[in-house]
Structure 1
Amino acid sequence: MIKIGDKLPEFSLTAVDGKPFDQININNVFTTVSNADLAGKWTVLFFYPKDFTFVCPTEIAAFGDLNEEFADRDAVLLTASTDSEFTHWNWRKHQEELRDLPIPMLADIKRELTTALGILDEAEGVAQRATFIADPDGVVRFIYVTDLNVGRNPHEVLRVLDALQTDELCPCNWSKGDDVIDVQKAA
């Protein structure tokens, strides 16, 4: 698995666009997302194992609900799995809580990005439930991986993004607006 301080691997993947459902048609449902699209922005990239499952839509919808808060922090929110863009689209059309998902669903069907990140679950052949935060230079600053059966807390990912963006020492359970650690006072 890549480490904190490594660069996000180069990628260019087809995705289901994050447009509102009523604005999508066969001519604009798919888009390409690459590293070039992320230049100069914070990136929050979260992987899930499979479409048409039980834990995954709860997480994806919860991240989607926070999309504006991530955007307010100059962060691009992306989700991905090893399913195809056609499977993503079919799932989004039929899963009520994903219908108006405001974030792109990347299709890593060749498992190139999943493998480059080191999060391919060999036993299951799917992406692990992994989250990466990369800074505007594409440097990974946060990695969060859970068991395939355990969902993440998107609010915690947002809290960590807030902490990283302070570029200060942030104590346990720090939240945006709390005091950071002043090394001069602590000494």
Structure 2
Amino acid sequence: MINIGQQFPSFSKTAVVSLEKGKEFETITSDSLINDNNEWTCLFWWPKDFTFVCPTEIAEFNNNFSEFRDRDTKLIGASTDSEFVHLAWRNNHDDLRGLKFPMLADTSKSLAEALDILEPNEKIAYRATFIIDPQGIVRWVCVNDLSVGRNVKEVIRVLDALQTDELCPCNWEKGQETLTV
């Protein structure tokens, strides 16, 4: 699996960004992760569209979209399903119609393979979350088993800690003192 401190792999993928006819799809590339505006990226993966745990996570990330935006962090969701399956799912699931972030389609599984997050038998992505700094460097990775949804509040807590660029003790939360050496 890609490690902390490594450059996020290069990619160019189609994503669903809208339900508006003619504006549904956009290409997202790894170049968009690197920027001078001090913008971070949180890219999270789910195993399959049209399943049960996945929409609860996607909806919770969407419910916290402003928390990520307030932290100058772009949010990107991804799976190995196609952009057409993503679009159909968004159109057919009440909790997904109003998504404020793109759903990346890795149909070739090349990005999931580069990240080494494919389940070996079904070749679907684990529930992996990556926090990437403005230079495109992976700063945090968390991977859950296929049956266990992640904790979005914990992702935000870790993002807050990383953005302090200081030593943060166990259970540290934004607004608390960091450690001094």
TM (norm. structure 1) is 0.93
Task: Report how far residue 69 of structure 1 moved.
Answer: 1.1
1:101-130 Cα distance to aligned partner (Å, 9 max, x none): 111000000001000000011212101110
Q: Distance in 2 between matches of 1:47 and 1:175?
A: 25
Q: Distance in 1 between matches of 2:58 and 2:12?
A: 21
Tell me the secondary structure at the aligned position of residue 42 of structure 2: strand
> Which segments of structure 1 move beyond 4 Å, counting only runs of 4 or more?
none
- Consecutive unaligned residues in structure 1, runs of 5 or more: none
Overall identity of the aligned pairs, in %: 56
Give the conservation status (yes or no) of the 8 Å contact 2:33–2:132: no
Larger radius of gyration, structure 1 or 2? 1
- Consecutive unaligned residues in structure 2, runs of 5 or more: none
Match of 2:107 among 109, 112, 131: 109
Pick which of 108-117 and 30-39 moved more: 30-39
Matched with 2:30 is: 35
Correspondences of 1:36-185 after superposition (within 5 Å):
36-40=31-35, 41-183=39-181
The amino acid that maps onto 1:49 is P
Q: What is the RMSD of the two structures over their aligned residues, measured on CA atoms?
A: 0.8
Q: Distance in 2 between matches of 1:157 and 1:85?
A: 25
TM (norm. structure 2) is 0.96
Matched with 1:11 is: 11
The amino acid that maps onto 2:11 is F
